[in-house]
Amino acid sequence: MNLALIENLLFTDDQIEYDILQVNDPQAQTHCRVCSNLSRLVFEKTLYWGEIVPFFRCGSCGHLQTCLPTWLTQSYQAKYAEEDTGMADRCLWTAQTTAAFALRTDIGPSEPCLDWGTGTGLFVRFCRDAGLNAYGYDPFAEALFSREFLCKPDQLDSRWSLITAFEVVEHFSDPSMEFAKMFAMRPSAILFSTLLYQGEGADWWYIVGNGQHVSFYTEQGLRILGERHGYNLTTDGLELHLFSRKKYTPRFLRQVRKKRETWSRKYLRAHGSRLISDSEAIRSRITKEESDKLARKD
């Protein structure tokens, strides 16, 4: 292995400390950013631009993580976004799944739902088109498709009935801290997706060459995160997961995904789309702003 220096994240009760380790040491270890137990070096991955990144697996919960990432400015350059050709399709099926979940759990059209890490905002637009009272939050991206429906940092409170985070949590450098932010809002449920880690190696396609994916979860690791905050975990055993106050079965979650098209249409028929009303509200705002500008000129 190449000689390199990595940051070792060590959790304490009141602070985060950093150590330095050499990755060519076969005993190289760090602390799991899910359960805080020891994680040992298992392999390395070379990113597109040649940077070598070490990966550590937790001996307790099985969580796989990189060293604390220092390359993310490079990872999120616009050219690497072109690689995600499945983004639009993913927004569609996850929005349908969310509406189907809302139908089966009685989340009504007036109950606010928050998409964590909303990115382009296309998912939020699809959800609102399906009748959900959906908003997005992402301090790092411009929500092109739902700018009018963004949550501000001072609105991260207990108003949200449902939080979604599809293909987001694998980007968390510090999963314990990021999940804690969502749990702190005390939603009824957090519906999210990420492929479960099951012992794959450096050639696993989910470990992408742009270095954006830095956390890979096991079912045990997710369960620890939920129980820490008083939430139950339900998972389909592959990629769709739910933290909730109530207990649900894996069969229920699989049905939500399998019947998402039928159930999301039922939700739409019951509550109606927000497409026209959103357009009228935006048009009214623009008209007023332009009118006010003209009045000030006069």
Q: Domains of the chain, with CATH numbers? A: 85-194+217-271 (3.40.50.150)
> Which of 68-82, 121-135, 154-168, 224-238 has the weakest average pLDDT?
68-82
What average pLDDT does range 97-126 have in this prediction?
97
- Secondary-structure breakdown of the chain: helix, strand, coil percentages, each rounded to the nearest 5: 35, 25, 40
What average pLDDT does range 220-238 have in this prediction?
98
Q: Two tokens at 146?
A: 């739902």
Could you please report the per-residue DSSP string of 86-124? THHHHHHHHHHHHHHHHHHTT--TTSEEEEET-TTSHHH
pTM: 0.89
Structure confidence at residue 223 as a pLDDT band (50, 70, 90): very high
Contact by Cβ (8 Å): 24, 1? yes
Report the chain's mean pLDDT, rounded to a whole number.
Answer: 91
Is pLDDT of 147 > 70? yes
Contact by Cβ (8 Å): 72, 211? yes
- CA-to-CA separations, 9 to 75, 85, 219, in angstroms, rounded: 21, 33, 22
Is pLDDT of 192 > 90? yes
Is pLDDT of 47 > 70? yes
Contact by Cβ (8 Å): 30, 69? no
What average pLDDT does range 270-297 have in this prediction?
92
Top mean-pLDDT range of 79-93, 149-163, 226-240: 226-240
Contact by Cβ (8 Å): 211, 75? yes
What average pLDDT does range 48-62 have in this prediction?
97
Q: Two tokens at 76?
A: 């999120």
